[in-house]
Amino acid sequence: MEPVNLAVIYYSSTGTVHTLAKAVAEGAEKAGATVRLRKVRELAPPEAIGANPAWAQHTKDSADIAEAALDDVAWADAILFGTPTRFGNVASQLKAFIDTAGPLWQQGKLADKVCSAFTSSATPHGGQESTILALSNTFYHWGGIIVPPGYTDPVQFRTGNPYGTSHVTGAGAIGEDVLQAARHQARRVVDVAGALKAGRTVS
């Protein structure tokens, strides 16, 4: 059977979501998917980036990650989107990329993709779930098949977010449980996308 084509499309200012995205990509690869790890284009002005040393540093450190293109969306059987929480919502950089997908939507090329999301916020009640649910609005419009992690693995009871992998930056660096949750979410997405792809090949 053809492997699942999986795109990890994310935005990160200071590297947290980037670290989650790499764990997601690793989990998907281990589950047998062909993976494209893609950051979306930065839209903030250089002076805003330069005023924040962590942002400036991450911009340099992630220079080698390819930028997401609409072809990555069209190619993918499954997409995992990552965004930091911004006032309880999706980062504008990721939203701007998603908003370029109108032509694919018009051609019916966004339907039936398996979609899932992950995030990070500064505080525990700072809007992780509202951010992931806000991304889900897009998935509904696409006719996507939303695959959340739920409580489908013991690690979910330790990290506690059934909506999607998430990290609280105010609580410290990303630990092994969160990385494991990211890999689990990716594996689950690959498994579901693989079953759907196999079913389509047969029918």
Ligand X SMILES: Cc1cc2nc3c(=O)[nH]c(=O)nc-3n(C[C@H](O)[C@H](O)[C@H](O)COP(=O)(O)O)c2cc1C
Residue of the chain from 136, 156, 169, 185 that contacts ligand X (CB under 6 A): 169
Encoded amino acid at 93, one letter: Q
Side-chain half-sphere of 28: how many Cα atoms within 13 Å?
29
Helix (H, G, I), strand (E, B) or coil at 36: strand
Binding of ligand X by 159 (CB under 6 A)? no
Beta strand residue intervals within 14-113, DSSP E: 34-39, 78-86, 89-90
Put residue 52 in one of left, alpha, beta given phi > 0 → left and psi -120 to 50 → alpha.
beta
Specify whether the CB–CB gap between 73 and 7 falls below 8 A.
yes
Q: According to CB under 6 A, which one of 59, 85, 159, 180 is a site residue for ligand X?
A: 85
**Least distance (Å) from ligand X to the CB of residue 166?**
9
> According to CB under 6 A, which residues from 8 to 47 bind ligand X?
12-18
- Least distance to ligand X, CB of residue 55, Å: 7
Rg (CA), the chain: 16
- 5 contacts ligand X (rule: CB under 6 A): no
Smallest gap from residue 51 Cβ to ligand X (A): 11
163: tokens are: 């909506």
Stretch that binds ligand X, among 7-15, 41-49, 146-154, 188-196 (CB under 6 A): 7-15
Task: Decide the pairing of beta strands 89-90 and 78-86.
Answer: antiparallel
Q: By CB under 6 A, tell whether 88 contacts ligand X.
A: yes
Distance of CA 9 to the CA centre of its chain: 5
- Of residues 27, 126, 148, 164, which one binds ligand X by CB under 6 A? 126
Beta bridge partners of 82: 10, 118
Beta carbon of residue 192, minimum distance to ligand X (angstroms, whole number)? 26
Q: Between 5 and 159, name the residue whose CB sits nearer to ligand X.
A: 159
Report the site for ligand X in 55-84 (rule: CB under 6 A). Answer: 84
* Nearest CB to ligand X, comparing residues 54 and 198: 54
The number of angstroms, rounded, from the C-alpha of 76 to the middle of its chain's C-alpha atoms is: 13
By CB under 6 A, name the binding residues for ligand X.
12-18, 84-88, 120-123, 126-127, 169
